[in-house]
Each structure stands twice: as C-alpha cells, then as structure tokens.
C-alpha cells in the first residue's frame, strides 16, 4: 500500500480536514455497502476488525503515539452506524453498534 501523505505538502489545514472527513465518509459508505451486500453481521465483523487493528497499531503505529489523535480516530470509527433490517422487508434503519 502506498503512503499518500507526501501529496499533502503545502496543503492548508482546511483541505486536510476535508480530506479526513471524506475518508471517514468512505469508511461509512463501505460499512453500509458490506451490510447491504453481505449482511449486518459481516458489517459488524468488519467494524470490529477495523477497531481491533487500529487499537493494536496494525494499520498505522504512529496513531498510537498521540493520545488525542488516537482518541479522535477511534471514536469516529466507533460512531459508525450499521444499517439493520428491522422490518424484514429490506427497509434499512441505522443503529449504532458499540463494539
């Protein structure tokens, strides 16, 4: 996997915020896609694995070095909602799944 942080040079803080928010929305989209394509349990499993990998430093060890950044990233992933089919008719309602 390529480290794309080199492309961020000379980018203003506002652009970095937009990029980070976009990446968060992409992860949210992935969770919803997994729930729709493979089921809610698969989405829960993905989210749990993502959180475990973040907390162990498997994704980026640098995240573990700064407590505030770590807390921010983990809290954003924990806040991801997983759609649940609550009426059996394919109508999805969003629920927050705490792992």
pTM for this entry: 0.71
| SS3 per-residue string spanning the chain | CCCHHHHHCCCCHHHHHHHHHHHHHHHHHHHHHHHHHHCHHHHHHHHHHHHHHHHHCCCCHHHHHCHHHHHHHHHHHHCCEEEEECCCCCCEEEEECCC
Degrees, nearest 5: CA angle 66-70-72: 120
Q: What is the pLDDT of residue 12?
A: 84
In this predicted model, what pLDDT tens digit does every residue of 17-54 receive, in sequence order? Answer: 898 999 999 999 999 999 999 999 999 999 999 999 99
Q: Which residue has the higher pLDDT, 55 or 12?
A: 55
Question: Structural domain boundaries of the chain?
Answer: 23-96
Least confident of 24-33, 69-78, 84-93: 84-93
CB 76 within 8 A of CB 65: no
């Amino acid at each position: 996997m390529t480290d794309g942080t080199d492309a961020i040079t000379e980018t203003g803080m506002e652009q970095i915020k937009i990029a980070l928010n976009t990446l968060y929305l992409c992860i949210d989209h992935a969770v919803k896609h997994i729930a729709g394509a493979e089921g809610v349990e698969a989405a829960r499993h993905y989210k749990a694995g993502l959180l475990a990998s973040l907390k162990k430093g498997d994704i980026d060890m640098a995240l573990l070095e700064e407590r505030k950044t770590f807390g921010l990233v983990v809290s954003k992933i924990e806040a991801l909602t997983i759609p649940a089919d609550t009426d059996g008719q394919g109508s999805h309602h969003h629920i927050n799944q705490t792992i």
